[in-house]
């Protein structure tokens, strides 16, 4: 639709400028050729999910406020394609470029100005967004975002330290500082970040993304003091339908992924490794998780003895 911008977004003024009246706009919405985002703003075509809706709505609000604001908090992370944890997708978060009044509406929060050094073209910097998100959603949320930003190569540990220092004095800033000391770009997903955090709380030293000699496997975690592999199983690992590629770049049908995972685990066990698989719900039951891992350590040490 020629009335939309490069992101597929249009305001009522854009649509009317293209010759569309109120009735025509209503008809396009009924036909799913336009999707309402916020008052006076639309996206071209249907929207796939809540994440896409949030990104499009954030971009609409950026246009609505001109160059006076940048996306912040989880909104900046979504626009930048970085992971979040505990994000409220129903609320767009913006930050002022210069001092001015704040604003809070059910679907929009406009926060105070952020230092110029943390402002990007349309968002705050990834490091500052991670810290902001931690202030609103908790320190672990900051760590998830920081790990994703490090992995993507869009931030550094010194930049994270500077962002934490900028919010010093906030009631939650010390908790964020403590966790961001453990930020690690080797973690490939929010689940792996949470699992690494759980292992630290359990007092278990582990190294992420370890290649196993004699196999093509790179495991999520290997305990430093015992031959125990710990794998995080997100729902995508066994719920895949799309084809994947094996370590040699060959396409593997989705229906074969489970079989290959079993063969991979069998090979690890043949080599003397115990394997503990962890899912999201396990992370909410740390005592039970600790018992499973300790039992695996005991089994591994009996084999070695």
The answer to whether position 185 is within a domain reads no
Nearest-angstrom CA–CA distance, 199 and 228: 13
- pLDDT tens figures, 195-204: 999 999 999 9
Q: Are residues 213 and 287 in the same domain?
A: yes
Output the CA angle 223-225-226, nearest 5 degrees.
Answer: 70
Q: Are 196 and 184 in contact (CB under 8 A)?
A: yes
* Same-domain status, 83 and 143: yes
Q: Residue 235 domain-assigned? A: yes
Looking at residue 259, its pLDDT comes to 56
pLDDT of residue 246: 47
173-196 pLDDT, tens per residue?
889 999 999 999 999 999 999 999
- Return the pLDDT at 241: 44
Pairing of strands 92-96, 108-111: parallel
Q: How is residue 128 written in tokens?
A: 């500052």
58 and 109 fall within a common domain: yes
The per-residue pLDDT for range 38-89, each reduced to its tens digit, is 999 999 999 999 999 999 999 999 999 999 999 999 999 999 999 999 999 9
- Please give the tally of structural domains in the chain: 3
Q: Does 218 lie in the same domain as 132?
A: no
The sign of the torsion formed by the CA atoms of 71, 72, 75, 78 equals: positive
Write down the pLDDT at residue 240: 41
The interaxial angle of helices 139-152 and 126-137, nearest 10 deg, is 160
Is 86 found in the same domain as 27?
no
* pLDDT 10s digits, 209-258: 999 998 888 999 999 999 999 999 875 443 344 455 544 454 545 555 56
Contact 206, 199 (CB under 8 A): yes
Neighbouring-strand partners of residue 207: 222
Q: What is the CATH number of the domain that holds 30?
A: 1.10.10.10
Q: By residue range, what is the domain housing residue 241?
A: 190-304
Last residue of a domain, one of 122, 153, 180: 180
Q: Domain holding 274: CATH number?
A: 3.40.960.10
pLDDT per residue over 6-38, tens digit each?
999 999 999 999 999 999 999 999 999 999 999
In a shared domain, residues 18 and 66: no
257 and 220 inside one domain: yes
DSSP collapsed to 3 states, the chain: CCCCCCCCEEEHHHHHHCCCCHHHHHHHHHCCCEEEEECCEEEECCCCCHHHHHHHHHHHHHHHCHHHEEECHHHHHHHCCCCCCCCCCCCEEEEECCCCCCEEECCEEEECCCCHHHECCCEECHHHHHHHHHHHHCHHHHHHHHHHHHHHCCCCHHHHHHHHHHCCCCCCHHHHHHHHCCCCCCCCCHHHHHHHHHHHHCCCCEEEEEECCCCCCEEEEEECCCCEEEEECCHHHHHCCCCEECCCCCEECHHHHHHHHHHHHHHHHHCCCEEEEECHHHHHCHHHHHHHHHHHHHHHHHHHC
pLDDT of residue 266: 80
């Amino acid at each position: 639709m020629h009335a939309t911008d490069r992101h597929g977004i249009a305001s009522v003024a854009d649509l009317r400028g293209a010759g569309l009246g109120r009735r025509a706009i209503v008809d396009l919405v009924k036909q799913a050729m336009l999707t309402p985002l916020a008052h006076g703003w639309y996206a071209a075509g249907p929207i796939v999910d809540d994440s896409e809706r949030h990104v499009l709505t954030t971009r609409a609000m950026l246009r609505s406020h001109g160059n006076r604001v940048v996306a912040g908090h989880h909104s900046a992370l979504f626009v930048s394609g970085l992971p979040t944890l505990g994000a409220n997708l129903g609320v767009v978060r913006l930050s002022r470029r210069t001092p001015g009044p704040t604003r809070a509406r059910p679907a929009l929060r406009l926060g105070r100005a952020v230092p110029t050094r943390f402002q990007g073209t349309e968002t705050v910097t990834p490091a500052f967004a991670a810290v902001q998100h931690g202030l609103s959603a908790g320190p672990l949320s900051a760590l998830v975002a920081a790990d994703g930003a490090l992995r993507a190569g869009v931030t550094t540990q010194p930049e994270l330290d500077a962002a934490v220092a900028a919010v010093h004095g906030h009631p939650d800033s010390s908790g964020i500082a403590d966790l961001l000391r453990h930020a690690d770009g080797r973690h490939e997903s929010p689940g792996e970040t949470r699992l690494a955090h759980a292992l630290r709380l359990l007092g278990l030293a582990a190294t992420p993304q370890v290649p196993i000699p004699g196999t093509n496997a790179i495991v999520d975690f290997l305990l430093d003091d015992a031959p125990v592999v710990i794998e995080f199983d997100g729902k995508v690992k066994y719920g895949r339908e799309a084809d994947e590629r094996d370590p040699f770049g060959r396409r593997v049908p989705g229906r074969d992924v489970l079989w290959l995972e079993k063969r991979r685990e069998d090979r690890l066990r043949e080599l003397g490794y115990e394997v503990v698989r962890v899912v999201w719900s396990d992370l909410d039951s740390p005592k039970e998780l600790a018992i499973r891992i300790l039992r695996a350590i005991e089994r591994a040490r009996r084999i070695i003895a």
